[in-house]
Amino acid sequence: MRAGSRPACASWAEYGPAFFLRKTISVSELHKFIFEGQPVRGSIVRLTDAWQEILRRRADNSETGAYPVAVRELLGEMAAAGVLMQSNIKFNGALVFQVMGDGPVKLAVAEVQSDLSLRATASLVGEVADGASLEPLLNVRGGGRCAITLDPKDRQPGQQPYQGVVPLQDAQGRRFQKMSDVLQHYMLQSEQLDTVLVLAADDQVAAGLMIQRMPVKGEANLAAATESESAQHDAIGLNEDYNRIATLAASLTRDELLTLDVETILRRLFWEEKLMRFVPQQDEESPRFACTCSRARVASMLTSLGAAEIEDIIAERGSIEVGCDFCGQQYVFDPIDAARLFTEADKLPPSSSAVQ
Ligand SMILES: [Zn+2]
């Protein structure tokens, strides 16, 4: 309703430093806030260094090469949304956000741990057109699915992780074109949470803004939405405030989200609202890239294949390239590296696999 009342002035503080800082300060940030006296919470994430690392690993992989632009945008939006969702729940474990497609993108995954470390990857089976939306990427024949899994760190044997799955279309069969629409639909269907999401990604930044109407009773939790919460859903008075804030949030453009710093975005959108800010998660607590793969792990796996097998591969291909399935990092072993696997392994205590 009041979307038009956003201040149109643009001072140097909004353009100058934001443009400049983008190149010099590259630590990813997460900011959370609530609207004073209203059951509405919000968060903004800007993934910079973490996102650039995800893209670099893929681009440096000689077998896959860089992501096509449309896939890069999809995966960046998923990574940003994954951080927003993980940071809103009280849960010790991994939030795994997946889309399984029937188009050129077979699978895209963003995984965010409770400490906001994250990784992401996508596997492609066909050509991707620039600017392709969700339908041509993932939902060509209507078979695309979105799954959100909460996998506890201390999962007991036999315990199933919580998982919610939705198709990439609404109840009337209209196919979603944007990832934010899928997630808004998911939040409403699976968690009974009114949500506005604005997501965007380019080759430097993956960012997202999420506004959510909190359940009146209890803690909002992906795994614990209750009937009583949805029963209070339409209480008069709550909707008005939420709708106003939601309209303001939805007016944020892709360009603004990608290029402006968080302070400027919040001031532009919500200058008439009473925001209560939490201390931003920066430095050691900020979202960051992490994958469990390493050159040492790959070396150990190669050693376990045995010297004869490795020599065969080197003879055939000249070198050995192993890509990580979870982040795209490629580990290359040339003939000297490969020979060293066994001379160095010989010095270590024998392992059952290395002597085969
Ligand atoms: Zn990895």
Residue-wise pLDDT tens digits, 7-50:
333 333 333 343 444 444 468 999 999 999 888 999 999 999 99
Ligand 1 centroid–CA 182 distance in Å is: 27
Tell me which DSSP letter residue 139 carries.
-
Percent of the chain with pLDDT over 70: 82
59 C-alpha to ligand 1 centroid (Å): 14
| pLDDT, tens digit (0-9, with 9 covering 90-100), for 108-153 | 999 999 999 999 999 999 999 999 999 999 999 999 999 999 999 9
Measure 287 CA to ligand 1 centroid, in angstroms.
17
Mean pLDDT of 318-339: 94
- The pLDDT of residue 159: 87
Give pLDDT, residue 216.
Answer: 62
Q: Distance (Å, rounded) from C-alpha 354 to C-alpha 342?
A: 9
Q: Are 89 and 223 in contact (CB under 8 A)?
A: yes
What percentage of residues in the chain have a pLDDT greater than 90?
71
Domain limits, the chain: 11-289, 295-347
Check residue 270 and give its pLDDT. 96
Ligand 1 centroid–CA 140 distance in Å is 29
pLDDT at 355: 36
Distance (Å) from CA 298 to ligand 1 centroid: 10
How open is the CA angle 202-263-261, to the nearest 5 degrees?
A: 25
For ion ligand 1, residues whose CB falls within 5 Å? 291, 293, 324, 326-327, 329
Domain 11-289 superfamily per CATH? Hsp33 domain (3.55.30.10)
Residue 241's pLDDT band, with cuts at 50, 70 and 90, is confident
- C-alpha 106 to ligand 1 mean position (Å): 19
pLDDT for 179-225, tens place per residue?
A: 999 999 999 888 888 999 999 999 999 999 999 998 765 444 444 44
Distance 78 CA to ligand 1 centre (A): 18
Instruction: Identify each DSSP E strand in the chain by its residue range.
Output: 29-35, 40-47, 93-100, 105-112, 117-124, 145-152, 162-167, 195-201, 206-213, 275-277, 288-289, 320-323, 330-333
Write out the two tokens for 299.
């070396």
Q: How confident is the model at residue 311 (pLDDT cuts 50, 70, 90)?
A: very high
Token readout for 268 is 């532009």
Runs of H (alpha helix) within 192-261: 227-231, 238-250, 254-259
Quickly count: other Cβ atoms within 10 Å of residue 8's Cβ. Answer: 7
- Residue 241 CA to ligand 1 center (angstroms) comes to 44
Per-residue pLDDT, 214? 83
As a CATH number, domain 295-347 is: 3.90.1280.10
State the distance from the centre of ligand 1 to the C-alpha of 328, rounded, in angstroms. 6
Q: Stretch 74-97: mean pLDDT, rounded?
A: 95
Give the mean pLDDT of 341-345. 77
Higher pLDDT, residue 354 or 190: 190
* CA 273 to ligand 1 center in whole angstroms: 42
Angle (nearest 5°) at CA 82 between 146 and 330: 90
Residue 228 pLDDT > 70: no
| 8 CA from centroid of ligand 1 (Å) | 44
For 42-66, what is each residue's pLDDT tens digit? 999 999 999 999 999 999 999 999 9
Mean pLDDT score of the chain: 85
Lowest mean pLDDT among 107-116, 281-290, 313-322, 342-351: 342-351
CA–centroid distance, residue 80 to ligand 1 (Å):
19
Average pLDDT over residues 305-321: 93
- Residue 66 CA to ligand 1 centre (angstroms): 16
